[in-house]
Structure 1
């Protein structure tokens, strides 16, 4: 078990995590041909955390970072189990549960619909303190739904961990807090932007477009072909 003295600084974690995601192509930039999100909004940036599973050294480092943040910010004995959200959160929950020596479950988006009609797979002890793990969060809504499902199954859920937090929608933390959930993460778009500026990973014009988007995502979307909010 690692000690507090061995935990990397959070700023270092964010910087290195951003660099690793850029290196493996998990972060994509298209300011002149924006991505269309499921909401109908447009975005000059897109994150695909699923790519991490194909890069063993990167995923190992990120999971080490994740374990250090969880232990430092939540506690060494404050979690009884780790639950992954279907589907992208499942592999990360498995790796983190291994590092933390904890049982694991996973949560379906909706009940299975046949057999036991289960929404939670794995064994949950009544009253156990469960950490929800997912790949990323934008507005936090899917985290709330997963936490509600775990609570209905008898778990206590007060924390969720993600690799990537958008951190551009001010209501996200507020919505999670209203539902009794604390958010923990490795890296945000602001951390990625900082790395791009210091490394010249992308051109100055693209950086300006991305910065405009991060400061006002809804306005940027409307001005670039996205649906009205």
Structure 2
């Protein structure tokens, strides 16, 4: 679900303008979920463009602030690795504590996977960069709940929203995004930077992401 449908086209344009959207050459991008994609949102590219980064994060903070108040969220959790920078920038603007969720536990004890100080019973906002089928977000929510964190919402920059979805966890996790693939696709087309071959690739991907993934060595089904 888009956090701000009216603002999604502008966010997509900002990501493209900041050169944070990478297009694959001969080798596609592979997400941790196994899906192959011709597009990758590079959060680290935002590090080098202070103007675009500031505008993007200001917009994210403004859009999510009502949810923070409504849900009573007391901390932001960034997933390793790309979600950490986004969560830090967002937490700073919202004046909330920020914690880090590792991909897998390291060591033992309560902080083996979740690092940072989590107040007892604190409700958190899970933050990451991209969502494909929701698998990693549900796994992250389960990990947070195991250490006592209450999590109802996850926020990403981009939710493709065109891949098959995994079965939701219980209690359900509400996935929110700043922008969907349809907005990013339009922004890329309007950028004037695409070659004819790239236009065809993105069109083929949009029409059948599953078939495109399989044809380029990625998964074609939910694990």
Q: Classify the TM-score, shorter chain.
A: 0.7 to 0.9
**Aligned positions, number:** 217
Q: Who is 1:183 aligned against? A: 175
Conservation of the 8 A alpha-carbon contact between 2:16 and 2:188: no
- CA RMSD of the aligned region, Å? 2.6
Conservation of the 8 A alpha-carbon contact between 1:27 and 1:47: yes
CA distance, structure 2, for counterparts of residue 49 and residue 119 of structure 1 = 22
2:140 counterpart of 1:149: no
2:182 counterpart of 1:194: no
1:184 aligned counterpart, secondary structure: strand
Task: Give TM-score scaled by structure 1 length.
Answer: 0.81
Unaligned runs of 5+ in 2: none
Alignment partner of 2:28 out of 35, 43, 67: 35
- Is 109-118 or 149-158 further displaced after alignment? 109-118
Task: Pick the structure with greater CA Rg.
Answer: 1
CA distance, structure 1, for counterparts of residue 122 and residue 34 of structure 2 = 39
Conservation of the 8 A alpha-carbon contact between 1:49 and 1:136: no
Conservation of the 8 A alpha-carbon contact between 2:29 and 2:39: no
Task: Give TM-score scaled by structure 2 length.
Answer: 0.83
Q: Who is 1:96 aligned against? A: 90
Conservation of the 8 A alpha-carbon contact between 2:106 and 2:112: yes
2:166 counterpart of 1:167: no
Aligned CA distance change for structure 1 residues 64 and 177 (closer, same or farther; 3 Å): farther
Deviations 1:155-176 (A, max 9, x none): 110001111212211415xx34
Unaligned runs of 5+ in 1: 1-8
